[in-house]
Amino acid sequence: MRQIVLDTETTGLNPRTGDRIIEVGCVEIFNRKLTGNNFHRYINPERDSDEAALAVHGLTTEFLSDKPKFHEIAHELRDFVQGAEIIIHNAPFDLAFLNHEFERMGLPPFVEHCANVIDTLVHAKELHPGKRNSLDALCDRYGISNAHRKLHGALLDSELLADVYLAMTRGQNTLSMDVEIEASGGGIVLEAGPLGEILVLPAAADELVEHENVLAALDKGVKGECVWRKYSPQG
């Protein structure tokens, strides 16, 4: 499955009042692996950013003045996402801008070029009800470093969201023992064979002594019985 993690930066909050896209970042995932085949463009919006938006992304009018306009990158973006599943955090915001930009050019809405859209904010709220589910909060929750994120950036945020999405959905991809294995050569389908004998190697006496020393040190540290004692067969 080909998936595209997408983010945009904009001049403000509402495309209907003239706000425009100023940056698009896309990160490709294929079969749950990052491919490195990414798409990133800065865009001249032909207007200034609101002060609040500028404080978020830091992309000044001067910096964007020599960048291509949206209609100059739209077909390239469309071809990149064509037929893929799109992953966005708070999808209605980005899709409103993308659909508006495509419709301004007389093209079908952006969503019509994609297989479907996954909103990771909705998914996160289902997994973690009542908790903060911003991108920064999810990075903290799943142990993904965002220390280098001083300002919002479309490509940087897409890269972080890709890691968050893969971590957040890891448990949804289980292995089945009733699979078929396709031979790498001639496309011959073989039934999965039986599992080999499971070998159990017990700890040696000196290893058990060392393990007990570690538990004793933990007991001393908590001034009582450490939690590992509850799961120790000798505890």
List the catalytic residues: 152
CA distance 158 to 161: 5
CA distance 84 to 116: 7
DSSP SS3 for 7: strand
List the beta bridge partners of residue 191.
Answer: 180
Q: What amino acid is encoded at 49 in this protein?
A: S
Q: Which H or E element spans position 209?
A: helix 205-222
Cα diameter, the chain: 76
How many other β-carbons are positioned within 10 Å of the β-carbon of residue 80? 19
List the beta bridge partners of residue 181.
Answer: 190
User: Which DSSP symbol is given to 178?
Assistant: S
- Please answer whether residues 94 and 6 qualify as being in contact, where contact means their C-beta atoms are separated by less than 8 angstroms: yes
CA distance 96 to 100: 6
Structure tokens of 69?
Answer: 């306009």
List the beta bridge partners of residue 41.
Answer: 24
From the list 64, 80, 81, the residue with the least C-alpha distance to 23 is 64
